[in-house]
Amino acid sequence: MLAKRIIPCLDVTDGRVVKGINFLELRDAGDPVEIAKRYDDQGADELTFLDITASSDNRGLILHIIEQVASQVFIPLTVGGGVREVEDVRRLLNAGADKVSINTTAVLNPQMVADAASRFGSQCIVVAIDAKKVDNQPFEWEVFTHGGRKATGLDAVKWAAYMASLGAGELLVTSMDRDGTKIGFNNPLNRAISDAVEVPIIASGGVGNLQHLVDGVKIGGADAVLAASIFHYGEYTVKQAKAYMAQHGIEVRL
């Protein structure tokens, strides 16, 4: 049977992997190529790179990193961050990315998601959704953009279904309330989106221990679980995470 996937996430800025808390307070976590190889050796099912480089000067660095990783690591690579036009998607795919994740641009210009999917295929288009629980709307979770700074007025669950209908092949759902907190995924959010769409969803934001990964699949209905800090700082290896999930009855690639 199809295995649930574990995806370590590497936030990259200026050529280095970093990790923040609630999108702030970045700490250096190492060299992206070395980290990618280590996770591949540990049995990671895919890798996700998010380019959070602020200045446009260093944007090209991510292409170089992906080229290096893609010639040494033979599992699917997703790259996101700063993807604004179809040409950006092409450049990343040519560098060796297998999927490209689109976030802010999907909100500003949904047609770009449709264009990219029709040109390169849905299999390589991931739409990233940053969602936060809100009290001032007729729905529970709102979509935010620009690294979580701008509210959009969009209902995250409806937005997810709309993105899938435009051709997104997968959805990366990040709970901004949980990101970096280590208190676990936002399972009600993930479950609501997973039930609303046909495409796979990746749960992201908040993993602090291995039980959180199990809950993300069993309670949240995630097809894949993404985590960063529990792996970067050596608290757990991907292998340990998979062994734990397998013990709890989740199908994984061992």
Partner 1 sequence: MKKIDIAVVDYGMGNLRSVSKALEHVAPQKTILVTNNPAEIANAERIVFPGQGAMPDCIRELDARGLRQVVLSAAKNKPFLGICIGLQMLFEHSEEGDSAGLGLFKGNVKRFTAVDMKSSSGEKLKVPHMGWNQVYQIHHNETSATKPHALWQGIEDGARFYYVHSYYVKPDDEQMTAGFSEYPNRFTSAIAKDNLFAVQFHPEKSASAGLQMLSNFVNWTP
Q: Which residues bind partner 1 (CB under 8 A)?
A: 1-5, 40, 45, 70-72, 74-76, 93-98, 118-124, 169-170, 194-195, 197-201, 221, 223-224, 253
Asked whether 100 and 145 are in contact (CB, 8 A), the reply is no
130 carries an active-site annotation: yes
Closest CB to partner 1 among 70 and 151? 70
Closest CB to partner 1 among 29 and 117? 117
Q: Is 173 helix (H, G, I), strand (E, B) or coil?
A: strand
Shortest gap between Cβ of 130 and partner 1 (angstroms)? 21
Closest CB to partner 1 among 12 and 164? 164
Shortest gap between Cβ of 102 and partner 1 (angstroms)? 16
Shortest gap between Cβ of 148 and partner 1 (angstroms)? 26
Rounded to whole angstroms, the Cα distance separating 99 from 124 reads: 4
| Residue 62, Cβ density class (10 Å: 0-12 exposed, 13-18 middle, ≥19 buried) | buried
> Active site residue: 11, 40, 179, 223, which one?
11
> Active site residue: 51, 88, 130, 179, which one?
130
Alpha helix stretches (DSSP H) within 96-234: 104-108, 110-120, 156-166, 187-196, 210-218, 229-232
φ/ψ of 250, rounded to 5, equals: -100, 135
Asked whether 76 and 46 are in contact (CB, 8 A), the reply is yes
Closest CB to partner 1 among 73 and 176? 73
H-helix or E-strand spanning residue 36: helix 32-42
Shortest gap between Cβ of 138 and partner 1 (angstroms)? 26
11 carries an active-site annotation: yes
Closest CB to partner 1 among 179 and 215? 215
Asked whether 199 and 164 are in contact (CB, 8 A), the reply is yes
Shortest gap between Cβ of 99 and partner 1 (angstroms)? 9
Q: Which residues are catalytic?
A: 11, 130
